[in-house]
């Protein structure tokens, strides 16, 4: 099964002084899923989107919210994020020694789960629990940086092949980091059906809708 391409705005790429406008812009442009990087200053240097901010964004965005936990001890965030109304929580396997327990907590909270892998983390890290999640996010940059790593394209390709071989073709693969219109087709062809776009999307606030259409067009028809 080949899922349709979804362009996922990453709100952290917008001007912090314009977050409200950015949410309104992507909602008006028809974005189905909004990606929120929840950072704790430990797992990555930045700090962003606490529970109060997530709850406010929830009130302003009718689509689905994906909280990407770039944090140490993600288990400490599950209850609060569920209460804030997120639809999907994506957890880095590197952030906890108890990834199975975190996924179980998400299931009990009624929140869909995702797994995220740093560029240097092997695919085997998600092998035992991949069947429990909606998506696997392959980081195309090292968290906290913007340097696109071309070797992650092959990693996406291998992941798609492995999931399909196991009958897990319904699991979405997201490419996160350094995604541009120029790279969209290559990432889509490799098997990424969700493309998380941050700074490349919000570089021109007045052109958000056009940028979304351009990215979708670039990725279309390649798988």
Residues annotated catalytic, as ranges? 37, 176
Token pair in block for residue 13: 């790429």
- The answer to whether the beta carbons of residues 50 and 44 sit under 8 Å apart is no
Query: What CA–CA distance (Å, rounded) separates 102 from 94?
Result: 12
Give the separation between CA 162 and CA 167, rounded to whole angstroms.
9
Residue 214's Cα: distance from chain center in Å? 19
Pairwise CA distance, residues 145 & 136, whole Å: 20
Give the DSSP H/E element, type plus range, for residue 202: helix 199-202
- If DSSP codes are grouped into helix, strand and coil, which group holds residue 38? strand
Distance CA 223, CA 209 (A): 24
Angstrom distance (rounded) from CA 170 to CA 27: 25
- Angle, helices 51-60 vs 19-28, to 10°: value is 40
């Amino acid at each position: 099964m080949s899922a349709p391409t979804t362009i996922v705005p990453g709100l952290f790429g917008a001007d912090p002084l314009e977050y409200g406008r950015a949410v309104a812009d992507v909602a008006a442009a028809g974005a189905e899923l909004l990606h929120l990087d929840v950072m704790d200053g430990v797992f990555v240097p930045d700090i962003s989107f606490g529970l109060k901010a997530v709850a406010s964004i929830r009130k302003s965005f009718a689509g689905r919210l994906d909280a990407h936990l770039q944090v140490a001890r993600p288990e400490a965030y599950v209850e609060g994020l569920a209460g804030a109304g997120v639809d999907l929580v994506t957890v880095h396997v590197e952030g906890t020694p108890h990834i199975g327990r975190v996924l179980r907590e998400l299931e009990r909270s009624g929140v869909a789960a995702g797994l995220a892998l740093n560029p240097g983390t092997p695919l085997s890290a998600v092998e035992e629990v991949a069947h429990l999640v909606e998506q696997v996010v392959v980081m195309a940059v090292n968290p906290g940086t913007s340097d696109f790593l071309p070797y992650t394209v092959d990693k996406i390709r291998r992941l798609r092949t492995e999931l399909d071989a196991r009958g897990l073709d319904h699991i979405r693969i997201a490419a996160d980091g350094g995604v541009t219109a120029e790279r969209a087709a290559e990432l889509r062809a490799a098997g990424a059906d969700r493309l998380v776009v941050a700074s490349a999307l919000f570089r021109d606030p007045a052109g958000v809708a056009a940028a979304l259409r351009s990215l979708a067009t670039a990725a279309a028809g390649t798988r």
